[in-house]
Amino acid sequence: MVDKDEAAWKVLQDDLDNRRPFRNFEYCRKDKDGEIRYKRVTGKPFFDRGGVFLGYRGYTTDITESRRTEHEFTQRNKMESLGSLAGGIAHNLNNTLQPIMILSQMTRDAFPADSDEHQNLQLINQACARAKELVERILAFSRESSYQLRKVDIYEIVREELELILSIVPTNITIRSRLSKKTGIVDVDPIQTQTVLMNIVANAIDAFEGKPGRIRISLSRARVGSSSETAIATLKKGDYAKLTVADNGPGMDEKTLRRIFDPFFTTKQPGKGTGLGLSTAIGIVYKHGGTIRAISAPGEGATFEVFLPLVQGKDS
Ligand SMILES: Nc1ncnc2c1ncn2[C@@H]1O[C@H](COP(=O)(O)OP(=O)(O)OP(=O)(O)O)[C@@H](O)[C@H]1O
Ligand SMILES: [Mg+2]
């Protein structure tokens, strides 16, 4: 059992102890492959003729897919409106910052280096540079940033970024990877695609907070179809590259999970995170016709699945 909603479990326990029926109780647990599944269960007590309690009868439904789908639709709508709003603001702010940046620099240089004026203008200039950096990051998740599509082998893109990740990963963390060379060709901006992987892995590293941990990175081909088994509501039918990053860190509760892709949502200390890593990642993946799915539970780690459409006709 991985759900930690203790109040709900208490109510259920009370129903069971008092042999009452219960309806639509939702919980999550890991299946034998270690994947988190959401279940909904309804049960009724049954008794023999003499009124002796014999047990519960009921049925359990797996609601993992519908949960994901619900999230994905609201997420996409949210990103579209927030993306254009933030993009518009960031664009205007960029234009406003430009003269502050240039003029503060010019005026600073007109004063001797050890004067108060020089130092004050230096501070203004530095603050302006930080504001510009933030604006750049906002532009990256909004639709305003430009990107250059190229038909590339997704295996090469991931392998290259993985090398970089392996060179910077702290020693408390073990990374295991399984990348299929035959995943296929994608039409993407390679640098932005690598940013997606880096942002997701960076979060996993942060989540361990220096404690030992494992991250599993895998790449394979996945078919998205129309049956309930293979459908992903926000994706067109077809073949996709599926990049999975799974960690065995502390995981997230349902409330956090619902907000992780929101721009500026962070659970980190002020100054530690801006909350733009995942919103940037999902913004990039949406622009490429894909999606990111996240699943997690407290104490059970987190799994992120990135789907990117494969170019048709290039099968290997
Ligand atoms: N692997 C993970 N395990 C646990 N929590 C996670 C994981 N990945 C993301 N989160 C949660 O999602 C939040 C949002 O992540 P996001 O990358 O968008 O922002 P951030 O990491 O807080 O800041 P930034 O990426 O801008 O430095 C995190 O603050 C954290 O609470
Ligand atoms: Mg992050």
Residue owning the nearest CA to atom 17 of ligand 1: 277
* Cβ atoms of 33 and 54 closer than 8 Å: no
Q: Cα–Cα distance between 181 and 133 in angstroms, integer?
A: 36
Q: Is 150-309 in CATH node 3.10.290.10? A: no
Instruction: Give the burial string for 118-151 (b: 16+ CB within 10 Å, else e).
Output: eeebbebbeebeebbeebebbbbbbbbbeeeeee
Residue boundaries of the structural domains of the chain: 6-62, 67-141, 150-309
- Return the closest-CA partner of residue 3 out of 28, 33, 23: 28
Adjacent-strand bridge partners of 47: 53
Q: Ligand 1 pocket: which of 211, 266, 267, 295 to mutate (most atoms <8 Å of CB)? A: 266
Instruction: Specify whether the CB–CB gap between 170 and 206 falls below 8 A.
Output: no
CATH H-level, domain 6-62: superfamily = PAS domain (3.30.450.20)
Q: Which residue has the tokens 């240089």?
A: 109
Q: Which of 310, 147, 143, 316 is nearest to 236 (CA)?
A: 310
pLDDT in tens, the chain (316 residues): 445 577 888 999 999 999 999 999 998 887 777 777 889 999 999 999 999 999 999 999 988 887 777 777 777 777 777 777 888 888 889 899 999 999 999 999 999 999 999 999 999 999 999 999 888 878 777 765 677 899 999 999 999 999 999 999 999 999 999 999 999 999 999 999 999 999 999 999 999 999 999 999 999 999 998 776 778 878 899 999 999 999 999 999 989 998 999 888 999 988 788 898 999 899 899 989 999 999 888 998 999 999 999 997 544 4
Q: Which ligand is nearest to the CA of 295?
A: 1
What pLDDT is stored for residue 4 in this prediction?
56
**CA 67 centroid distance within chain:** 15
Among 197, 260, 292, 304, say which to mutate for ligand 1: greatest number of ligand atoms within 8 Å of CB.
260
